Structure 1
């Protein structure tokens, strides 16, 4: 036990944040064009099923960019495509139903796309408004965004930046599936977006 005490003291003395290469410091963001990190970007959606339970699923990003200039935050432009044909849920049968013409019709529309119109960030939070296209239908969406962090990726040595965002859409706006109340028309979105300097 006496040997363990100094080791524990050393571990506790090092702040956990100091071990991460990225920090929530907007000053670490450099101007330029960033490519979406498809391995670490996803949209999680949540709906109410029959009033009995909440259902969630997820889409990963298949491509996209963010053009960022810290000196002109309002000039930021985001364009990200999501692979609806690669959606993830807990049941293969359910996934097949969601991919059918009843819902996402992924045979005809394998991707969804978000293109920003305005970005208004103050400090570490703000709003992003833009156009969301699902099944060939485009509607305006407003997202509440939070800056997660930036820094040099220890593997690529390139600057990485990350954001979280939340928002709400209506299924009926995009022709997605059965009418409420079988499944809620309201869909809650949680987005984790990661970008790497080109």
Structure 2
């Protein structure tokens, strides 16, 4: 049998094999559930710990359950609708010397990499690295992340998932330098989201 004939038979045999769909799995789009989502930030004001919230304007979430490293998040936050626990602190926060909401009405985060824990499970801890844009200044940021199913759900039921992200940034890196004598430069992030597989 010639080499060409053997090659033809091999190719014909490969073509007749059934497709293994999970081998070519791709990221699946998920919808952000606003009722189950909290974007919280923390900051020090005159030596006292304070908190605030900022709503999500748009969110694109892709989760590859076969290879979580391929997952991606692209989120836009609505700066103008940010709130603080102390109402009188909201005005200075949105002012020109801090977030300058009039000129920069949104904050944008897009992930660039997902790194899993040594065990390979994001539920055991992972990091999400991305680019954060505040006041038209873009800087890299890394957030600690966990991804998990609702309690009591089946192991293969991935229709609803919860994501928890934590981290911190230096507001001076983004030019939000106002009220330095009263407000700490470090801003903490505590993000809890619920996502649902897109129909």
Q: TM-score if structure 2 supplies the norm length? A: 0.74
Q: Indicate whether 1:38 and 2:47 are aligned.
A: no
Give the Cα separation in 2 of the matches to 1:97 and 1:80. 24
What residue number does 1:12 align with? none
Can you list the C-alpha shifts for 1:59-85, whole angstroms capped at 9, x where unaligned? 121111111111111111111111111
Q: 2:49 pairs with 33, 54, 77, which one?
A: 54
CA contact (8 A) 2:41 2:53 kept: yes
CA contact (8 A) 1:179 1:185 kept: no
Secondary structure in structure 2 of the residue aligned to 1:94? helix
Q: Indicate whether 1:105 and 2:85 are aligned.
A: no
Q: Indicate whether 1:83 and 2:78 are aligned.
A: yes
Runs of 4+ in 1 over 4 A off after TM superposition: none
Per-residue deviation, 1:193: 1.9
Per-residue deviation, 1:136: 0.9
Larger Cα-atom Rg: 2
Per-residue deviation, 1:178: 2.3
Give the Cα separation in 2 of the matches to 1:195 and 1:61. 13
What residue number does 2:131 align with? 131
Give the Cα separation in 2 of the matches to 1:100 and 1:178. 9
Secondary structure in structure 2 of the residue aligned to 1:176? coil
What residue number does 1:19 align with? none
Per-residue deviation, 1:31: 5.3
What residue number does 1:196 align with? 196
Q: TM-score if structure 1 supplies the norm length? A: 0.74
Q: Please, which runs of 5 or more residues in structure 2 have no aligned partner?
A: 1-25
Aligned residues: 163
